Amino acid sequence: MQALEIVDRLKDVVGKYTDDFSQIITATSLTRSGTTATCITATDHGLATNDYVTIRGATNPVIITSLTRVDNVVTAVASEATQLIDPSKYTAAIRDSLTVTLSGTDPIEYSGTFKLLSVSDDRLTFTFEITTTPTTPATTAGYLLQDDYDGYNGSKQITVIDNTSFTFTVNENLNSPAQGTIEIASNIRIAWAATAERADQYYSKMSDESGYSTFMFVILGSKAVYRDGTIASDISTSIEKNQDYFFAAAQDFSIYLYLPTADETLAGIQSDKAREYEAFILKSIANYSFSSVLTDVTYQPVNYVGNESDIYNTAYYVHRFDFTAKGYIQVADTIDINPGVPLDNVEGSFTDKNLQFKTSFK
C-alpha cells in the first residue's frame, strides 16, 4: 500500500461531497471525440498540463427516440441500451426511490426527474410516472441523463489547450456532449507526508506564505505482522522447518484534517466541523481494497478504527481519522529456494587392477 494511492482515492471522491478542499470552476461544455474529452470553462482555469482535477456533475446522455403518454404513465424508447434496472428487482423501500431524468424535450413537461416504473429486459424501453398531461406523443423526445461515475466524472490528468479549455482521456463509449451542471474541482488540497511532524511543518510554512486553508494529509503508520493472532516479534511465532510460511499483516494509516482557527479561542466549531467530514471520508476509504506489492495483490477491505482531536495551537486545529487494512505474507513472498539438480542419468567406466568396470545410474 502506498500513501499516494490513498490520496488519489480521496481526490476522486471528496470533491463529490464538499468544496472545502479545492477551488471550483464551472464548465460550459464537455464533449468527446474518440478517447479525448474536451472541457471548456466559463473563466480562466489557471491549470497546467499534467495537473489533476476532479470532474463532477456530468451525465451521459442517451437519445430518446419516442415518448408517448397514457394517463399518467409515459413510455420512453431509447436509441441504445440504458443502464436502468427494472424496479421489480429491488426491495420496496429502494423501488420507491428510483427515478429517471430527461432533458431537451418538447413539450417541456417531459423534462425533469420522474419516478421510474419499469424497464424492459433489453433496457431499451422504460416507463415513468408523470403528474401533468403534456401532448402525446412528444414532438422532441430529448435525452435520458444517465449517472456517470467513472466516465466523464472522476479524477483526471489534463492537457491544457488554453486558459479556458483542456482535455483528458475517457473511454470511447460515452455519448457527447455531456449534460448536467458540470464543475471542476482543482488545486485539491490533499497530500501525503512521511510523518505527521513533517506534514505539520509543511502546513505551517505554506500557511504563513499564502494564508490558512482547509487541508488533508495521508500518513502511513506502522505495519505489524502476526501469526495466529500473536505479534511476530514473539518467539512463539517463529517458523520451523517444514512448516507453512503464512503471516497476517496490519497496515495502519491516518488522515489528518487541518482547519484554520482564526478568531477562535476554543476551536469547538472546527472540532465539530472535522467530525462532519467523517461521512465523506468513510465514503472514500472504508471497505475499499488498496493494492499490495506482495503475492496477495490487494489488501483486505479497509477497516475504520476511529477519530480524535490531535493538535490545537490557536492558529489551526488538527483532527485525525485512523484506519487499518489486513494483508498476508506467504511462502511465495519469501526466498527462492534452489534444491539443486537431482541425480538423473550417469554412465561411465574405470579400470582398476587391469579390470575394466562400467557403471550406469538412472
Average pLDDT over residues 331-348: 71
Give the pLDDT score at 253: 97
How far apart CA 362 and CA 360 sit, in angstroms, is 7
Q: Compare 345 and 203 and report the one with higher pLDDT.
A: 203
Q: Does the pLDDT value for residue 278 go beyond 60?
A: yes
- Same fold flag, 23-58+149-187 and 191-333: no
Calculate ∠ Cα 114-280-44, nearest 5°: 80
Using alpha carbons, select from 328, 331, 289, 282 the residue that is nearest to residue 307.
Answer: 282
The answer to whether 38 touches 30, Cβ cutoff 8 Å, is yes
Domain boundaries, the chain: 23-58+149-187, 60-147, 191-333
**DSSP state letters, 118-133:** EE-TTSSEEEEE-SS-
Per residue in 49-69, pLDDT (tens digit) is: 999 888 988 999 999 999 999
Strand partners, 62: 144
Give the pLDDT score at 352: 62
Query: Can you tell me whether residue 284 is helix, strand or coil?
Result: helix
Average pLDDT over residues 306-330: 94
Pick one of 3.40.50.720, 3.60.20.10, 3.40.50.10490, 2.40.30.20 as the CATH number of 23-58+149-187: 2.40.30.20
- Give whole-number Cα distances, 342 to 345, 346, 348, 361, 362, in Å: 9, 11, 18, 12, 11
Q: Does the pLDDT value for residue 350 go beyond 80?
A: no
Single-letter residue type at 202: Y
153 φ, ψ (degrees, to nearest 5): -80, 160
How far apart CA 348 and CA 102 sit, in angstroms, is 88
Chain-centroid distance of CA 200 in Å reads 26
Strand partners, 249: 225, 327
Output the pTM of the full model: 0.72
276 φ, ψ (degrees, to nearest 5): -65, -30
CATH architecture of 191-333: 2-Layer Sandwich (3.30)
Q: How confident is the model at residue 342 (pLDDT cuts 50, 70, 90)?
A: low
Q: Does the pLDDT value for residue 344 go beyond 80?
A: no
Q: How does the average pLDDT of the chain come out, rounded?
A: 91
